[in-house]
Homo-oligomer: A and B are copies of this chain.
Amino acid sequence: MAMERATRRQRATPRKGDLREQAILRAAEELLEREGVEPMTVEAIATGAGISRGSLYFYFGSKQEVLTALVARTLAALTEDATAFTDDEATPPHEAIEHAISRTEHMWRGHGRVMRTAVDHAAVIPEIGHLWTATVATFTKVMTGVLVRAGIPDGDGPADAAALAHTLCWMTERAFYQAAAQPVPDLPRAAATCTEIWFRVINHRA
Contact = CB atoms under 8 A, between A and B. Distances in A.
A158 B173 CA distance: 17
A200 B192 contact: no
A194 B174 CA distance: 14
Interface in A78-121: 116, 119-120
Nearest to A178: B170
B37 A197 contact: no
Contact of A193 (B38, B123, B158, B173): B158
Contacts of A200: 200-201, 204
B181 A168 contact: no
A192 B203 CA distance: 19
Contacts of A194: 167
Interface bin, chain A: 35 or more
Contact of A167 (B124, B163, B167, B171): B171
A192 to B, nearest CB: 4
Contact of A174 (B120, B158, B173, B199): B173
- Taking the full assembly, how many copies of this chain does it contain? 2
- Interface-centre pick from A116, A120, A181, A200 (highest chain B CB count, 10 A): A200
B120 A193 contact: no
A204 B196 CA distance: 11
A40 interface: no
Contact of A159 (B171, B173, B192): B192
Nearest to A36: B124
Interface of A: 37-38, 116, 119-120, 123-124, 158-159, 163-164, 166-168, 170-171, 173-175, 178, 181, 189-190, 192-194, 196-197, 199-201, 203-206
6 closest cross-chain pairs (CB), A and B = A171-B171, A158-B192, A200-B204, A159-B196, A174-B174, A205-B205
15 contacts: A37-B123, A38-B124, A123-B181, A158-B190, A158-B192, A159-B196, A163-B193, A163-B196, A166-B193, A167-B171, A167-B194, A168-B197, A170-B171, A170-B174, A171-B197
